[in-house]
Structure 1
């Protein structure tokens, strides 16, 4: 064992740069996988942690005032009930900000089921009848602190000033603004003062189930028991969990996919490096056999060496993630902070480390086995005659290129199998870099071309204290507004009545809204609709089918004629013409107007002009762009490109060393024939550059195909829908390929220059084994 360790130490000293690079690559891969694990766990943990602590309800049902909810407590599988609570719709106003709010009446005692978790301040107090407790994400968005005041505006325009008593977490609904309206709790007397009209009061009841997997079935039973005309909204725990962790899940999947692919690429690079060392050290290994080393000991020697490098890299990566992970900005730092406090952290860290080390060890197994088969007295093989020249070399000769380029093209593919393996190992990181560039291009598409991704409107305007005709006139008179589309949104029960989606009426028959369609066609008749991918998933429907939804107690039979790219509400939107909601009283009143601006118009300036022109009677807000919430993805993409670049560099070092070893005698012959050291260096650089060029072509082509597929799959899984992927610009791909080839050439210059400085007699006396 002592002899093994001494040999390993000597080998590592002889290849310090390569060993350090392998440790660094392994460490960075370990950090990526640890961050991915933390993000994926945190994607579900915010909801799961709050749900467990609050004994949350698995199904929430909103019903009309006066409906008898007592039968719901007797449904099979129901183990607890929250409510029923009286609720009313209002607006929360603080300064210039105004958001939609659901006021929920609650008592001074916290309930046993779906108990809000007060994080700061205190719960409702009968001594403060004007008090309100805000859900934490809503409080953060409105910058409402405990002890401050907010204004609550009822549907009739009357306002009430309320004191913020506390801020609480809740698993009843997703985080604001991804989930609207926001949630606030008040005393029943306060709710009666804000909304005195009983016709505008609803009830919310939560059901806690013995089997969480039966949430859809229980929701259907509840709707059947109460009657679909009494139910206005149904929400299950799966919808809330998905909405809470969407952004973190995307980052986690991105890091996880790249980390795993990078691990495979690193394992292949390690296998190539180990194989190169075996070939370069045949005489040393034979000497070890001569002094008594067994084949098993030689195999263990290489396994110990590379496993030690993997362990060092894993330890370095785990330490860096633990120390600096919580300091990272945004979701990454928050997820790492939460993950480190979990009891399961040690097990996840051990599993990640075991996977990384085992992958590196398995990659080293084949080269180590080949080393064990080397005899104690290896025979010196005579140089084999040249196997002919490749087509590329023939082309170089036909074009009468300089001798260095012609000979370099021959050297690149002189050994087809080894060249193919080198190209494959280099193509993997290039492929994933192309995928990263595709992710970047997709984010740029969201920002630069929002209309193509379902964001035709830049602003929304809601009349407040102004009649509809006056609001429409103000909007149409604004020169920067190209079109104002009236819209309304109401919850609708999906077929099967297990949950609700948002039924959005937007545009009119004479003035249809320009939805961004990925399939089908736009709305032409009042019974036609376009749906987001999330809505299609919930309804188990496809484009071309007819569906029946119930909105406001009224059934609607709609023909889905298209699928639009829908970034709002996780894609759970079914869009129709405003006339489709027409009842006996005619076309419903618009709740808001979606404003499409003229090219070049500044949304901020238009918003300011509209607020001034309406004297504050129009609530004008910018349309949220998902790209604004995914800015951290760009940072992650840059980091992943750096990781993949390191892996590529490690493989380039191995490829250059192998090329020099294969052609050491050739270099001596070429110098003896009169080629200058500069020309010999050009041969080696050309060989490496050609291998890299082949890898760039293969990796870029596969990366473009994989990028579109992965991004569209993520879009489909998130509810936005496929069709959002954008291919990197051709000039970007060309520049990335040129940089890769240039870096490969630069990496090979140093060892090539050293090789050409060797004496001709030493090169000619070298034997290949």
Structure 2
């Protein structure tokens, strides 16, 4: 054991840089995997906790006011029912902000779908105008218990008595109205009612919806929401961040394993005589293997412990969503188990790759094998001889020759180095795709920057005139958005009519063509998956008791409503209902216009008769991904440096046998140094080419696969610009050359006696 420790200590002193980079790379990998686990727990647990504690309903069905919703309690598979509760659509204003809400008349605290009070109290008959706000709605209105809210268009005021969490779909401007619980007396103009169903088997949700619509009649049902939709919306971007971190963490772990394998293999080739001596003095093959295994497992263990300690101690202090995720994750029951298993799994994987490489050291014979008299670089190829004949610099020719003369070893080195570079290209593509949402939103289904919803007191002509007068508004597209029942009556989708045939809305069509003719429409990926249809099919849906049949001629990129949107022109919807009037306007602004400033100007000019809000950009919730990408690139760069240092060490050792011959033919130490630097640069250049060639299509596939799974659809991926790729490749090659310069210069200036002893 003492000899083993002395050998390990000596090797550590010789390769301090590789040891440091290995520890840092392992720490980054384990940290990424732990943060990914935290984000997955953060994405799922808060909603699941609220749903469980509130005894949430699996289905919420909005119906007409006169529908006999009491029949739903007798359906098979229904465990309990909430409601029916009378509802009223309204717009509340507070401190200069507005929000569309659903007032829900709730006589007492429900047992199913019970709001969880976070501040304030529940409703009491002593305060008939009191309301309880859903927490996200309260944040949007900047409201707290005790504040007064005004119902837009009236003199009515409501007093906030409490704020509560709910497992139902949360408030989203322009998409989902906020939920407000009130006493039945406060719901003065009910336009419908809502009923919640808690099922004995949550997986029977679709069947329960279908049975409910059959019992009540399709014309009585206006909207259906399920627990699966609410869960997916609550998880949102956190799950995507977790997937990105997990994917890159696993990829980096594999790259690190290959880098360790290559480093040990290179070190074994450079220490064949020393290993033979160890065996000659009594070391067994198992002891030789354990020398390398324990040494590199110690590096991995140190990095894993550092990552686990930092994540546990400082993770919750990370600014933004990552810190919140770690804080929530640390309170989960399985947190301690994960904090132990993830680092242990990473260390075991690195140990497995280390053992495979160290096993070769155990097979080294105890008597050194005489080295071949052939030059280490092998005979010059015809191409190399021709290049020398053209009087190209010998250092460049011999460096290129040394890099690729041993094809198997060279290909393995290029493959190991290309893996982290490939993952860096994928990370850069993710960054560029996020930038595309902000720089060219019209290409990702966000042509409209503002959504304007006029109230009933402002006519169509007045509303359009108001919008067209603003010099910063380029186009105003009238539209209608309603909930429609899908075939089979198992869910509701968003049916949208935007623009006219004379002025069509510029949908971002990723497949097929835009909708131009009568009954033509474009649909999001989420709707195509839900209905199991494709471009070219006809679909039938029900709006109230009125059927609507549309021909899907294209697939549009739909960031809203998980892609469960079918869009046509307003003229097509008017063919079924000639009296249909626009309920909203999508505004396309002129270049350079600030959406928030335009929204304030329009709201002030309309004197409170319009509700204006910017269109939600999905990339806004992915801002933490930028910091994640930077961190991942740093970890992958460390892994690449480990591989480069191994390759450089191998090139320097193998060049020692040629040193005498190179000096004998008149090459200076600077030229000999250039040979090693050129060989390293050529290897890095080949790895950059492979990593870029494979990374770009892999990034497109991964991003498009994520787009399809989220319902937005494929067609989002945007690769880095050629200039950025060129800079990336140049940085990688120049960095590799700079790393090789110092060890190559030291080797070129070695004394002849040292060189003779090395090749003896």
Give the TM-score normalised by structure 2: 0.96
Deviation at 1:39, TM superposition (A): 0.9
Deviation at 1:395, TM superposition (A): 6.5
Question: Separation in 2 of the partners of 1:175 and 1:433?
Answer: 37
Partner in structure 2 of residue 411 of structure 1: 402
Write out aligned runs for 1:301-312 (5 A): 301-312=291-302
Question: Separation in 2 of the partners of 1:381 and 1:178?
Answer: 77
Question: Separation in 1 of the partners of 2:693 and 2:249?
Answer: 21
Deviation at 1:91, TM superposition (A): 1.0
Evaluate the alpha carbon distance shift between residue 451 and residue 86 of structure 1 in structure 2; reply closer, same or farther with a 3 A threshold: same
Cα deviation digits, residues 82-134 of structure 1 (max 9, x gap):
222111111121232212111111134x2221111111111112212111111
Partner in structure 2 of residue 746 of structure 1: 738
Which residue of 249, 257, 267 maps to 1:259?
249
Which residue of 651, 657, 664 maps to 2:656?
664
User: 2:70·2:84 contact (CA, 8 Å) conserved in 1?
Assistant: no
Write out aligned runs for 1:218-617 (5 A): 218-384=208-374, 387-390=378-381, 393=384, 396-397=387-388, 399-464=390-455, 465-582=457-574, 586-617=578-609
Which residue of 151, 176, 183 maps to 1:180?
176
Evaluate the alpha carbon distance shift between residue 734 and residue 209 of structure 1 in structure 2; reply closer, same or farther with a 3 A threshold: same
Moved more, 651-660 or 183-192: 183-192
Cα deviation digits, residues 397-439 of structure 1 (max 9, x gap):
3653211111111111121111111111111111111111111
Question: Separation in 2 of the partners of 1:10 and 1:16?
Answer: 10
User: 1:545·1:559 contact (CA, 8 Å) conserved in 2?
Assistant: yes
Question: Separation in 1 of the partners of 2:593 and 2:388?
Answer: 59
Structure 1: gaps of 5 or more residues: none
Cα deviation digits, residues 328-376 of structure 1 (max 9, x gap):
1222111111111111112222331232012101111222111111111
Question: Separation in 1 of the partners of 2:68 and 2:336?
Answer: 50
**Secondary structure class of the residue paired with 1:184:** strand
Question: Separation in 1 of the partners of 2:91 and 2:388?
Answer: 78
Deviation at 1:160, TM superposition (A): 2.1
Question: Separation in 1 of the partners of 2:371 and 2:299?
Answer: 33
**Secondary structure class of the residue paired with 2:90:** strand
User: 1:138·1:175 contact (CA, 8 Å) conserved in 2?
Assistant: yes
User: 1:427·1:696 contact (CA, 8 Å) conserved in 2?
Assistant: yes
Partner in structure 2 of residue 131 of structure 1: 130
User: 1:396·1:409 contact (CA, 8 Å) conserved in 2?
Assistant: no
User: 1:392·1:409 contact (CA, 8 Å) conserved in 2?
Assistant: no
Write out aligned runs for 1:698-713 (5 A): 698-713=690-705
Give the TM-score normalised by structure 1: 0.95
User: 2:95·2:141 contact (CA, 8 Å) conserved in 1?
Assistant: no
Partner in structure 1 of residue 113 of structure 2: 114
Structure 2: gaps of 5 or more residues: none
Matched, 1:204 2:194: yes
User: 1:129·1:187 contact (CA, 8 Å) conserved in 2?
Assistant: yes
User: 2:62·2:222 contact (CA, 8 Å) conserved in 1?
Assistant: yes
Question: Separation in 2 of the partners of 1:76 and 1:660?
Answer: 77
Deviation at 1:445, TM superposition (A): 1.1
**Secondary structure class of the residue paired with 2:218:** coil
**Secondary structure class of the residue paired with 2:759:** coil
Question: Separation in 2 of the partners of 1:426 and 1:172?
Answer: 48
Partner in structure 1 of residue 641 of structure 2: 649
**Secondary structure class of the residue paired with 2:219:** coil
**Secondary structure class of the residue paired with 1:245:** helix
**Secondary structure class of the residue paired with 2:541:** strand
CA RMSD of aligned residues (A): 1.9
Moved more, 519-528 or 253-262: 519-528
Matched, 1:623 2:619: no
Moved more, 127-136 or 278-287: 278-287
Question: Separation in 2 of the partners of 1:599 and 1:273?
Answer: 53
Cα deviation digits, residues 644-682 of structure 1 (max 9, x gap):
111111111111001011111112321233221111111
Partner in structure 2 of residue 45 of structure 1: 45
Moved more, 167-176 or 581-590: 581-590
Deviation at 1:163, TM superposition (A): 1.6
Matched, 1:191 2:182: no
Moved more, 406-415 or 262-271: 406-415
Cα deviation digits, residues 147-183 of structure 1 (max 9, x gap):
2222233xxx324222211111111214535951111
User: 1:668·1:761 contact (CA, 8 Å) conserved in 2?
Assistant: no
Question: Separation in 2 of the partners of 1:189 and 1:347?
Answer: 51
Question: Separation in 2 of the partners of 1:69 and 1:620?
Answer: 35
Question: Separation in 2 of the partners of 1:392 and 1:224?
Answer: 79
**Secondary structure class of the residue paired with 1:76:** coil
Moved more, 698-707 or 582-591: 582-591
Question: Separation in 2 of the partners of 1:236 and 1:399?
Answer: 75
Partner in structure 2 of residue 82 of structure 1: 82
Evaluate the alpha carbon distance shift between residue 510 and residue 663 of structure 1 in structure 2; reply closer, same or farther with a 3 A threshold: same
The list of structure 1 runs, each at least 4 consecutive aligned residues, that deviate by more than 4 angstroms after superposition, is none
Evaluate the alpha carbon distance shift between residue 339 and residue 602 of structure 1 in structure 2; reply closer, same or farther with a 3 A threshold: closer
